[in-house]
Amino acid sequence: MHPSASFSAAIRVRIENQPGAFARLAAAIGEAGGLLGAIDLVRVEGTTKIRDVNVLADDERHLDAIVAAVHSVDGVEVVHVSDRVFLAHLGGKLEVRPRLPLKTRDDLSMVYTPGVARVSRAIADDPEKVWNLTIKRNCVAVISDGTAVLGLGDIGPEAALPVMEGKAVLFKEFAGIDAFPLCLDTKDPDEIVRIVEAVAPAFGGVNLEDISAPRCFEIERRLRERLDIPVFHDDQHGTAIVVLAALLNALRVVEKRLEDVRIVTTGCGAAGMAVTRTLQNAGARWIVGCDEGGALFRGREGLNAAKQEYAERTNPDNLRGTADELLEGADVFIGVSVPGAISVEGVRRMAPRAIVFAMANPNPEVDPEAIEGLAEVIATGRSDYPNQINNVLAFPGVFRGALDVRARTIDPEMELAAARAIAGAISDDELSADYVIPSVFNRAVAPAVATAVAEAAQATGSARRSVAAPSTAP
């Protein structure tokens, strides 16, 4: 584990104004394994000083231990402890702001009644004008039922809301898109489809998020059939796009071709199935997917319809066995499953110059540090290791490009174009085993993805209009 802002606190302390007092405090934090951050002087009170001390920890238990260590320091009184993550969420992370001033009677008459009636009439006469005259041109609905939230599982729509708010923040920050979280209090696929259909007129796209498999497949399929705006389940397609981008670059590092490598995956839910499909669309020929029961093979009993279909189009040799057993001689491992899905010994048996993407969060399928030297390229879903595979590299640019050309859908060609654009953000000179995927803060990525997606949409006929260069803002 590594100290992270995900588990950080601002500890307000009263310290005796004498030599060595703060040094004892800092030493206690260090001995407890904490990382000392910003230190702010709040005020001086005679013989004491009030300071806010920011600390980073590995997890909640570690954070409690650090606070306890501070309590034990002579000459230091803990006044208050504030969890910085909870402080960041007070009141939510989003707000609605007008784009026009409202200061005079004239402003009111144009923005609202009576002037707005002319705009409504224009849209009624020509519905296509809704794209130019309303927020629809730059607005995405972030839809969740709270059944598969992060690694927390089925925690409900209210608990899913902070995550969906965060998703909306990323849309705005990286692509200038206005996104709004809609957390639905139903798990019924029929009802979810009806609700999204009903609210669709206000949005230019729909981002489905954290909906459990296999329901998510049906919901996305039906919405794509019924709506004329992009419907994109990010847990599936966003993950698949970024995995393909990272793999394309990793294969450049180890000098292998996608068409030739043997790929073993763990996790056959939404992400795992989409990753496999996207890799196959890009040219991969040999993939075996594994769940907790081992390899998915034709004739295996107890598989649901989605897994049966998966088995039909993968595992060309119809192999059986555990993921660890199947890793022998494999070139690539891709994990979107659970910690411990494979072992160090399994990685040791892989082909020379192996690639391991262990993306379970927060704990990968295998400890990255334990397989250093066994795999040439290692990637995870974590920000504290090299090669973080993060969906934020994909979805903002994908929707930016789709909105700019008013796409009716997001098709496989658009997804492949997005993956190639992400991979292309790393030049030959920059490429290395610990740098196969660009940083999420590389501001060149989203515009590059948007351009590639828009061009692909125009080429496939998914676009309603052509644009010379997609924007990064409304």
Candidates 93, 103, 112, 136; catalytic one: 112
Active site residue 112: yes
Nearest residue to 146 (alpha-carbon basis) of 190, 212, 218, 89:
212
Residue 268 · residue 310 · CB < 8 Å: yes
Please give the full DSSP string across 25-50, using - where no structure is assigned: HHHHHHHTT-EEEEEEEEEEETTEEE
As a whole number of angstroms, the distance between CA 252 and CA 275 comes to 19
Instruction: Note if the bond before 114 is cis, omega within 30 degrees.
Output: yes
Query: Which residue in 368, 321, 362 sits closest to 344, CA to CA?
Result: 368
CA distances from 471 to 134, 188, 218, 221 (A): 17, 37, 32, 29
**Which member of 136, 167, 307, 310 is catalytic?**
167
3-state secondary structure of 349: coil
Cα-Cα-Cα-Cα dihedral of 17, 20, 24, 30, to 10°? 120
Provide CB contacts within 8 A for 446, sequence distance 6+.
174, 175, 396, 397, 400, 472
Q: Does an H or E element contain 377, and which?
A: strand 377-380
Please give the positions annotated as active site: 112, 167
